[in-house]
Structure 1
Amino acid sequence: MTRHIRHAAVFCALLLVALLVNAARIQVLEARAHDGNAANRRATIARYGQPRGDILVDGRPVTGSRDTGEQLRYERTYADGPLYAPVTGFASQEYGTTLLEHAEDGVLSGTDPMPAPFRLWNEFTRSHTPGGDVETTLNGAAQKAAYDGLDGRKGAVAAIEPSSGRILALVSSPSYDPAALSGNDAEVARSWDRLNGDADKPMLNRAVRQTYPPGSTFKVVTTAAALDAGVVTDLDEPTDSPAPYRLPGTTTTLTNESDGCADLSLREAFKWSCNTVFAKLGVDVGITDMAATAQAFGFNDTALRIPFSVARSTFDTTVDRAQLALSSIGQYNTRATPLQMAMVAAAVANGGQVREPYLVERRTRAGGATVDMAGARPVRQAMQPATAARLKELMTQVVTEGTGTNAAIPGATVGGKTGTAQHGLLNSGTPYAWFVSWAQGDDDLEAKVAVAVVVEDASVARGDITGGGVAAPIARAVMKAVLTS
């Protein structure tokens, strides 16, 4: 009897060991596979089981979390959702995350180990770190001025602090309310279908994800290339620029919107935006120097992130001379995001230096302790300082006595460049109205803001669409908001 009892005890012990080994195999060796199984909702339930951290503008949250009392307990909320949607993106229980909600998801959701004060303990106990906050570089007054200025028209605004690269405004219109996508019920699905089916594409971030022909605003880049290459040495000397100008190797002629552009000096041609002067100037500079200058400003850069990705602005380096002429006035294959053109204006205002733009100032833990802050941003020289000084002079004259007078601000020096870009088959589309600019208060030691504005569907007659008439007033409102805040 004792022997049978001993055998039974050994057998039970073996069963217990086998059970423990199998449990260890499942919980340790196969843990990742089970965690990643689509049928396992524990991670999802835990993710939405606590409030999400907030995105801040001017130190105040523009996001929040609502307790639904359901299994996925907390839903994302947004204050002034359409105003900040091009920055925040959405955080949806059904459709995931975009823009800052995506790029900073680890901090906001508490899943990033960096903000965890007791990382090893959390891993051992499988507890969840409260979500931290993300403080943006945005100027709330400038953001609102840009949004109100567009007034629902299709277009975008980007504003940068030239000396640092801090993004002060990032607006895309028409916009949408991200809160409509936060939950997981039938109404969220209907909102998703409606937004994706909207021909105006309200979820498209036109400020950083849409490229446009920059038109005459690109003449800032062409001027920088010509001055740096020594093709032009005297701003007031007449240029050898016939009007109309026959594109090299073709029978096609290029004309101007106004008379009197033939052989005009660079100063006057820049003021009145003469196409013929700048098309020939680009050809005289040559593709090598034009491409080098464009790339120094940021064109053809595929790696820019702010921290979410930015569409590549393009300057074609494989063009012939006729195509180069058109590229040099911001047409043909030349395309730019509004953020890229704000970088061009910022470089002029910053002595020729381009600061890499950024949107996140600092990240904090739930209790407010700083996890990290934005450091000095990478810088590159887009043009010689002397060239930047002469371009500042030219851009200032555009605002004081040229096509950009609608951007003038009392008590400040403002420089700008207008642009009206053609697009569509045989230029059949409504022209895009552009304005790029910078502003420096009379009491300031340096320029405080650089802005780019593009309006796709100006609500005026086609012949009256101009960057100075449509886009410059919006830029003025944004610059004034920064200077007075």
Structure 2
Amino acid sequence: MLKGMSENETLQNRNWNVLIYMTGVVILFFILLMRLFSLQFTHYDENLQRSENNRIRKVVLVAERGYIYDRNGEVLVRNRPSYQIALSSINMPRKKSERDSLFMKLLGIKDAAGERLFDSLSLDTAFQRSRWIKTRPIRLLEDATAEQVAIIEERSEELPGVMTVIESRREYPYGTMASHALGYTSEISEEQLKLPEYEGYTQGDRIGQKGLEQFYDKEFRGVNGMKLVEVNASGREVGTVDGVEGTEPIPGLRLVSTIDLRLQKVAEEAIPDTAKGALVAIDPRNGEILAMVSSPRLDPNIFSLKKRERNKGWAHVALDTMRPLTNRAISGTYPPASIFKLVTAGAGLENGILTENKYYSKPCTGGYQYGARYQKCWGTHGSLNVVNAIRLSCDVFFYQAGLDIDMNRINEFGRRFGLGEKPLGVDIPGEKAGWLPDSASFNQRNKRLGWRWARGLILNLSIGQGQIVTPLQQATLIGSLATGKGVYRPHFMKELRDSQGNVVRRYEPEIIRPGNMKPYTHRILLAAMDSVVNHPGGTGKRGALPNVRVGAKTGSGEWKKGEKTHAWYAAVAPLYDPEIAVAVIMEAAGGGGAVSGPIAKKVMEAYFENKLSEARKNETQSAP
């Protein structure tokens, strides 16, 4: 009986086990059915979208950046195709183990020479960035060679999310030519992304840095397009999505600059790259900058190279004690030296303190006694009027004139012609303002040093030793003094055109300072500039041209005791109907007339030769 009950219990227990098992199976299938129902019905749209995201990729079509031309249509900046090996965050493996495997596979890839294509640091950075950048591929290798592209394509199946992208990179066909004016492009930094002016930009965008590239970046960028493409499991594009139209990119605007390439070449050849200096050639009738040189120069093409080469090039220029990154033409600040004597003379003539025939009672005997102080002159010039004092650049005459005129009057006249504390507003970033000291600004500027304004300071200031100017200001000054028709804002942009060549915007010349003076003042200053170049003993005779009347003023700017002076030369031609003004400074080079005068002469010769050749060309074309 007990034995029977035991068998019954065993059978009953077995039935319960089967029942529990079957119940578990039913529940499991029920869960699977519910999950299937959820996937196919409840979350159908969501899952379809995920599926589509894995199959379909949104590709941003980057707009071609606008070109830069010189005034005659010569290409100064263009684009070139560049292959990039990139990482697509959408198609990368999700599991950490698979991502680590992809990382190690990439790290192990070598080229024919046995060199690794990727380094661990750049790969790690790219993988980290892929966590938050979802909209565009992340560059792993820039400017990849055909061999490197082939290696990646051969292994495409084992490298999910790794792809080859064709981008355009900036190319500067003339290398260092006009590099400081043109600027360069590079990837936007994290600091720049935080600035309001870069709203709408994203990590990985290449933007203009320095020069015209930066100032007109938004105009050059254009508008990106978009297309939807189908990709396989490895993230490779296999075709476009039927029935979905993308948007074509709109190319950036093209800038026709005021630069004359032929003139720019002459200017750069005239200044050795081993020297520190700058040159600005400008049309004083409208402010168009015809040429701008800052030496030493740099090659902006280095910023379009692959990362390793770019870093090497950047380190070279950044650590160079000659400071090739500095645009000395607009941000180099120097004492104006004797070129400022034109301002002192102009202020005296305007206020009736100087006249054409005024001679000071104390002639130049090599210096001037002011109280207990004896102020030297660079020569012995005797008794002079204002024209001859400028011709010979006599300091003693201007010591006396400055004391008579006073700095407030002198500074007021200088501000009329572009000097002073405000930049001229040229359309490239980095321009610095100058400084015209008076008693208030001098005391404020030197408060920490405990220096106070004294009347004796006028002696140095009247000859341009103590103020601050830029080469751009000096070119603007000499040009507007010669025209007498106002100071035009210096600029590089002549026209902006679309990809079909239609003019979208044309620069309208703008007068920013009055540049006014009495006809009498104007006549005397022109006569003085004429005498500097074309009369016996003139300090600027080395800048004379045989068939064009040149007016000029030389200067030697003191900056450090025991060192050679900065060599200044500012000239304009034709003197009585000005078309071009040129300012040259060569740092620590000596006398302006001897060093910088011949440089300015070469530029002016080239300008008028170009003009003659263009005139002959037009005559030939118009002949029947």
The interval holding the TM-score normalised by the smaller chain is 0.7 to 0.9
Paired residue secondary structure (1:375): coil
Aligned to 1:145: 266
Q: CA deviation at 1:298?
A: 1.6
In structure 2, the gaps of 5 or more residues are 1-36, 51-57, 85-164, 190-206, 225-244, 443-452, 611-624
Q: C-alpha separation between the residues in 2 aligned to 1:72 and 1:88?
A: 24
Provide the rounded CA distance (Å) in 1 between the counterparts of 2:415 and 2:436.
Answer: 8
Structure 1 residue 302 displacement after superposition? 2.8
Higher RCO (CA < 8 A, seq sep 6+): 1
Match in the other structure for 1:357: 490
2:397 and 2:249 mapped to 1: Cα distance? Answer: 63
Equivalent position of 2:325 in the other structure: 203
- Alignment correspondent of 1:287: 407
Contact 1:351 1:389 in 2 (8 A): no
Bigger shift: residues 221-230 or 315-324: 315-324
Which position in structure 1 is the counterpart of 2:296?
Answer: 174
- Determine the structure 1 residue equivalent to 2:577: 446
* CA deviations over 1:107-160 (Å, ceiling 9, x no partner): 212159xxxxxxxxxxx9775321221111112222122111112221010011
Q: Is the 8 A contact 2:298 2:324 kept in 1?
A: yes
Structure 1 contact 159–452 (Cα < 8 Å) conserved? yes
State yes or no: 1:299 paired with 2:424: no
Q: Which runs of 4+ in 1 moved over 4 A?
A: 12-17, 124-127
Tell me the residue number matched to 1:26: none
CA–CA distance in structure 1, aligned partners of residues 551 and 321 of structure 2: 35
RMSD (Å), alpha carbons: 2.9
Q: Which residue pairs with 2:76 in the alignment?
A: 62
Amino acid at match of 2:559: H
Alignment check: 8 A CA contact 1:283 1:325 kept: yes
* 1:80 corresponds to: 174
Secondary structure at the aligned position of 1:69 is classed as strand
Where 1:481 maps in the other structure, the secondary structure is helix
Rounded Cα–Cα distance in structure 1 between residues aligned with 2:357 and 2:584 = 29
What is aligned with 2:368? 245
- Structure 1 residue aligned with 2:64, among 46, 51, 60? 51
Describe the shift of the 1:106–1:237 C-alpha distance in structure 2 as closer, same or farther (beyond 3 A). Answer: same
Q: How far apart are the structure 2 equivalents of 1:416 and 1:304?
A: 22
Percent identical among aligned pairs is 28
Matches of 2:486 and 2:600 in 1, distance apart? 22
1:417 is aligned to: 553
Q: 1:111 to 1:213 in 2, by over 3 A?
A: farther
Q: What secondary structure does 1:73 align onto?
A: strand
Q: How many positions carry a matched residue from both structures?
A: 430
Bigger radius of gyration among the two: 2
Equivalent residues of 1:239, 1:266 under 8 A apart: no
The answer to whether the Cα contact below 8 Å between 2:181 and 2:428 also exists between their aligned partners in 1 is no
Q: Which residue matches 1:312?
A: 433
> How far 1:327 moved relative to its partner?
1.5
Q: Does 1:156 align with 2:278?
A: yes
Within the candidate set 315, 331, 354, 2:465 is matched to 331
After TM superposition, the score normalised by the length of structure 2 is 0.64
Q: Which amino acid aligns with 1:76?
A: R
Equivalents in 1 of 2:571, 2:331: separation in Å?
A: 21
Aligned pair partner of 2:187 in 68, 76, 93 = 93
Q: Any gaps of 5 or more consecutive residues in structure 1?
A: 1-8, 24-41, 113-123, 459-464
Q: Is the 8 A contact 2:478 2:571 kept in 1?
A: yes
Q: Distance in 2 between matches of 1:157 and 1:273?
A: 22
Rate the CA distance shift 1:104–1:72 in 2: closer, same or farther, 3 A.
Answer: farther
Indicate whether 1:391 and 2:535 are aligned.
Answer: no
| Pairs within 5 Å for 1:186-201 | 186-201=308-323
Q: Is the 8 A contact 1:433 1:471 kept in 2?
A: yes
1:407 aligns to 2:519 (yes or no): no
Q: Which amino acid aligns with 2:574?
A: Q
- Output the amino acid matched with 2:78: G
